[in-house]
Amino acid sequence: MGAKERNLLTNAFDSNWIAPLGPHVDKFEYEMAEYLGVKHTAALSSGSSALHLALIIAGIKEGDKVLCPSLTFAATANAIMYQKAQPIFLDSNPDTWVVCFNALEKAIKKHKPKAFIPVDLYGQSCDYDAIMTLCNQHNVIVIEDAAEALGADYKDKKCGSFGEMGILSFNGNKIITTSGGGMLASNNEEHIKKAQFLSTQAREPLVHYEHKELGYNYRMSNLLAAVGRGQLEVIEDRVSARRSIFNRYEKAFSRIDGFTFMQKADYGKSNRWLTTLTVDEKITRISRTQIINALEKDDIEARPVWKPMHLQPYYKGYEYVMAVDEDVSKKLFYDGLCLPSGSSLSEIDQNRIIDIILNCVDE
């Protein structure tokens, strides 16, 4: 947080416009649409609520099949379950870690799904030219989960602007934050109007409270939108900081056999939301868990990468589609490591992290 956010938040507070909706919500929506290069947005209470509304607007109903990558945060799959639809999980590309295109093609031909939710994993864009061509051929609705990828690019277009709808998250751990919050983006004005309607309890435009549809309390407050506007002003600084952090890690660990960073896709530019890599214990003779534990002794938090959905107890039994015999997302989870990557991470603290990891490897 900085002076811009403080000034805008104070402005909202002093105006006494505290409740959901208000001038900062309107301006945040406009400014984010301008940044993404889309026509319309709806500011919401979370990225999860944006995903849920996107599926409702897309007409997803009980029993419909919806594809998504297995290697993702649970919110992607949970939104499918909110609609009592059937998730089908897809394996990852071993280099870029995003969805495996061959697994996607195989699943579409086999299951004829109604929708697909590609995830821009850890700030890395999916290959949207290939995805949109394939999905359009088979009448599959694409909803882009760009919760981790604000500020990332695909062929000079911003993540969050692809598919029928795109979703963003401003949770406390994201590259910019409103503490809690999210946004739905689309070039289809009717989609966004529907989202705004449903997110305010589906109240009809009458003097009394009239409800003909099931609604939700999913709108963003004026206070949080003020914070978001200040954060959006410095988004490029945040992205630049994350990329610099990644570059320092990569330079420090480039000599270590068995450390493999998420490979940069040649079609886009990641925002490097988190620096992620795999640790091959057979080569390094140390596991990613040992590295996590060594950092924890110095009160430094590191984590494994997302545990794939097909390995989660709740989703046991749902279909998982691989393109080859090897389970790539499972291997990425067992070997994958997320390093501290916050935009405010100082070089001094990053060097502490680097030294601890190098000492682990050299022991």
Amino acid making up residue 65:
K
Q: In what order do the strands lie in the sheet with 275-279?
A: 259-261, 275-279, 336-339, 303-304
Establish whether domains 3-234 and 236-362 are of one fold: no
Quickly state the pLDDT bin for 3 (edges 50, 70, 90): confident
Quickly state the pLDDT bin for 363 (edges 50, 70, 90): low
Domain boundaries 236-362, corresponding CATH code? 3.90.1150.10
Which distant-in-sequence residues (6+ apart) come within 8 Å of 358 by Cβ?
252, 253
Is 136's pLDDT higher than 90?
Answer: yes
Confidence at residue 7, expressed as pLDDT on a 0 to 100 scale: 87
| pLDDT, mean of residues 188-194 | 98
Q: What are the phi and psi torsion angles at 183 (to 5°)?
A: -155, 145
CATH topology classification for 3-234: Aspartate Aminotransferase; domain 2 (3.40.640)
Confidence at residue 12, expressed as pLDDT on a 0 to 100 scale: 84
pLDDT, tens digit (0-9, with 9 covering 90-100), for 289-315:
999 999 999 999 999 999 999 999 999
pLDDT, tens digit (0-9, with 9 covering 90-100), for 238-287:
999 999 999 999 999 998 999 999 999 999 999 999 999 999 999 999 99
Confidence at residue 350, expressed as pLDDT on a 0 to 100 scale: 98
pLDDT exceeding 90 applies to what percent of the chain? 92
pLDDT, tens digit (0-9, with 9 covering 90-100), for 321-359:
999 899 999 999 999 999 999 999 999 999 999 999 999
Domain borders along the chain are 3-234, 236-362
| pLDDT, mean of residues 86-101 | 98
Is 146's pLDDT higher than 90?
Answer: yes
Q: For helices 347-362 and 235-253, what crossing angle results, to 10°?
A: 30
**Average per-residue pLDDT for the chain:** 96
The model's pTM is 0.95
- In DSSP terms, 167 is beta-bridged to 145, 184
Contact 248, 350 (CB under 8 A): yes
CA torsion sign, 229 to 248 to 354 to 148?
positive
Confidence at residue 184, expressed as pLDDT on a 0 to 100 scale: 98
Is 137's pLDDT higher than 70?
Answer: yes
Least confident range of 48-52, 78-82, 255-259, 309-313: 255-259
Tell me how far apart the alpha carbons of residues 361 and 363 are, in angstroms, rounded to a whole number.
6
Half-sphere exposure of 45 (CA within 13 A, CB side): 12
Is 174's pLDDT higher than 70?
Answer: yes
Contact 96, 268 (CB under 8 A): no
| pLDDT, mean of residues 165-191 | 96
Confidence at residue 13, expressed as pLDDT on a 0 to 100 scale: 85
Contact 199, 44 (CB under 8 A): yes
Confidence at residue 17, expressed as pLDDT on a 0 to 100 scale: 79
pLDDT exceeding 70 applies to what percent of the chain? 100
pLDDT, tens digit (0-9, with 9 covering 90-100), for 19-43:
778 899 999 999 999 999 999 999 9
